[in-house]
Amino acid sequence: MTTANDPRIKFLVALGRALHSYGVPAHRLEDALGNAASRLGIRAEFFSGPTSLISSYGEPGRQHTALSRVEPGQLQLDKLVELDEVIEALYRAEISVGEADGRLHEIDGAPARYGAGLTVAAFGVASATVARFFGGGYPEMGTALGLGLITGLFAVLSGRSLAVARTFEFLAAGTVTFLATALGSRLVPVATGPAIIASLIVLLPGLSLTLALNELSTGHLVSGTARFSGAVMTFAKIGIGAAVGRQVAEFLPGQIGDVVPAVLPDWTLWVALLITPVALGILFRARRQELPWIGVGTLVAFWGPRYGVLWLGPLLGAACGAFVSGLAANIYARWRRRPAVVMVVPSLILLVPGSIGYNSLTLLMQKDVLSGVDTAVTTLLVAVSLVAGLLLANVLVPPRNAL
C-alpha cells in the first residue's frame, strides 16, 4: 500500500519534474515514468501537459494524486545523461531510492556546463557552418558568423531578462535581417538569404514542430497541440521580425543587390561537418565525451537525406534521413547505454524543416500567398516524413529505454 510519504512517490515526482524541465517530449516522459514506477513496484499513472505534470499512485479508489506546475524547459543533454545514470544505478540496486532522489536534486541544482561566452561563440560557429551547408561562400560564412554571435547574445540575455525572453525571436530576427540587408548588400557583395537563415537556424522551431507531430502521432494530443501552437508562434515572431528589419533597411540610401555565392571547394564542407557537432554540443549542453557521437549523428543526418532524395525524392528522402538517424541513435543507446536523444536530437537540426518554414513566412509577408502556402504545406509534409522515419526506426531497432 502506498502513502503520500512513500519515498518512491517522492522520487517519481522529482524525476517527472526533472524530465519535463530538461525538454523531454510528453510521450518519452510518460514512458520513462511508467517504466520507473513499474521497476519500483508501485502502481502509477501519469499525464504530462505543456506546463503541468499530473501523477496518480496506488490502486483505483485509494490513489494519491500529485500535481506539479512546471515550465517548459530547453533540452539539456548533460543532465539527461546524468539522470539516466542515476536511474540505471537505482535499477541495479546500487543506490537506494532516497539516494537517487538526492542525486536528482544535485543534478538539477548544478550550474550550466558552458558559460555565456562559449555559448555565444557556439551560436556564431554553428551559423557559419550552416551557411556552408546552404551553399554560401566565404563572405556568407563570415557574415553568418557575425550575425550568429548577435543571435547568441540575444539568447544569453533572454535567460537573464523576462522582457527580452518574451521578444527574443522578434528582436533577433529583426536585428539580424536589418544588419544583413543594410550592410551585407551595400558594403560587401554577400548573398543575404543564406546568411540570414544560417544565423537564425538554431532559433527556427523546426525541431519543436517535428516533436509536436511526434507527440500527436503517439496520441499525446494536448501536449502535441500546445507544442505545435508554440512552434507556429515562434515562426510568426521570426517572420515578422525579419520583415520589419528588411523594411527598415530599405529606407537607407543605396541599392540592395542580388549576389550569387561563390562555389567553395569540397574540403570546406568536411571541415564544417567536423566543427558543427562541437557547436551543437555546446548549445545542447552535451558532455565532452558525448561530442564524438554527436559528430557521428551529424554525419549520418547530413548524408542520409541527400542520398535519400536522389533515390526516393524530397519527402521520402527526409524520411530516409530520419530513419537512418533514428537507427544510429538506437544502436548507440544500446551499445553505449546512453539515452538515444544524445545522438538523434542534435542531428535533427540538419533535418528539420525550419528553413522551409522561414521561407514560407517570408513569402507570405511579401504577399506572395500562393507560394507561401505551398511552402508551408511542404514544411508540414517534411516534418511528417521525419516523424514517420523516426517511428519506423524505433520499430526496427527498439530504443533501450524511453530516453
Please state the rounded mean pLDDT for residues 96-125: 86
pLDDT digits (tens, 9 = 90+) for 377-387: 666 677 777 77
Q: What number of other Cβ atoms are within 10 A of residue 53's Cβ?
A: 22
Q: Which amino acid is residue 151, in one-letter code?
A: T
* Burial class for 330, CB neighbours closer than 10 Å (0-12, 13-18, 19+): buried
**Helical packing angle, 221-250 and 206-217, nearest 10°:** 160
pLDDT digits (tens, 9 = 90+) for 153-171: 988 888 777 777 778 888 8
Does residue 254 or residue 307 have the better pLDDT?
307
Output the pLDDT for position 106: 87
Nearby residues of 25 by Cβ (< 8 Å), 6 or more positions away: 211, 214, 215, 220, 223, 227
Please state the rounded mean pLDDT for residues 246-266: 74
Which residues in 91-107 are b (16+ Cβ under 10 Å) and which e?
eeeeeebeebbebbeeb
Please provide the average confidence, as pLDDT, over all residues in the chain. 79
Return the residue matching grid coordinates 550550474: 111
Ranking 124-133, 321-330, 378-387 by mean pLDDT, the lowest is 378-387
Grid cell in block for residue 136:
554560401
Ranking 101-115, 241-255, 263-277 by mean pLDDT, the lowest is 241-255
220-228: long-range contacts (C-beta < 8 A, 24 or more apart)? Answer: 220/25, 220/26, 220/27, 220/30, 220/48, 222/49, 222/50, 223/25, 223/26, 223/48, 223/49, 223/50, 224/26, 226/49, 226/50, 227/25, 227/50
Could you give the C-alpha distances from 6 to 18, 40, 46, 329, in angstroms and in order?
A: 19, 11, 17, 36
Phi, psi of 337 (to 5 degrees): 55, 55
Return the residue matching grid coordinates 533515390: 311
Please compute Rg for the chain using Cα positions. Answer: 22
Grid cell in block for residue 30:
510518460
CA distance 364 to 311: 32
Asked whether the predicted pLDDT for residue 358 surpasses 60, the reply is no
State the pLDDT confidence band at 375, using cuts at 50, 70 and 90: low
pLDDT digits (tens, 9 = 90+) for 209-237: 677 777 777 777 777 787 778 877 887 88
Query: What is the share, in percent, of the chain residues with pLDDT greater than 70?
Result: 84
Does residue 325 or residue 5 have the better pLDDT?
325
Q: Which strand (E) or helix (H) includes residue 15?
A: helix 7-21
Output the pLDDT for position 95: 84
Query: What is the share, in percent, of the chain residues with pLDDT greater than 90?
Result: 3
Ranking 235-244, 246-255, 338-347 by mean pLDDT, the lowest is 246-255
Nearby residues of 173 by Cβ (< 8 Å), 6 or more positions away: 200, 203, 237, 238, 239, 240, 241, 242, 245
3-state SS assignment for residue 59? coil
Does residue 256 or residue 361 have the better pLDDT?
256
Which among 90-99, 142-151, 360-369 has the top mean pLDDT? 142-151
CA distance 232 to 346: 21
Output the pLDDT for position 48: 81
Of 110, 107, 98, give the one whose Cα is nearest residue 10: 98
* Burial class for 159, CB neighbours closer than 10 Å (0-12, 13-18, 19+): middle
Q: Which strand (E) or helix (H) includes residue 81?
A: helix 77-91
State the pLDDT confidence band at 326, using cuts at 50, 70 and 90: confident
Q: Which strand (E) or helix (H) includes residue 54?
A: strand 52-57
Output the pLDDT for position 348: 74
Asked whether the predicted pLDDT for residue 1 surpasses 60, the reply is no
Of 362, 369, 162, give the one whose Cα is nearest residue 244: 362
Please state the rounded mean pLDDT for residues 140-148: 88
Q: Which amino acid is residue 305, in one-letter code?
A: P
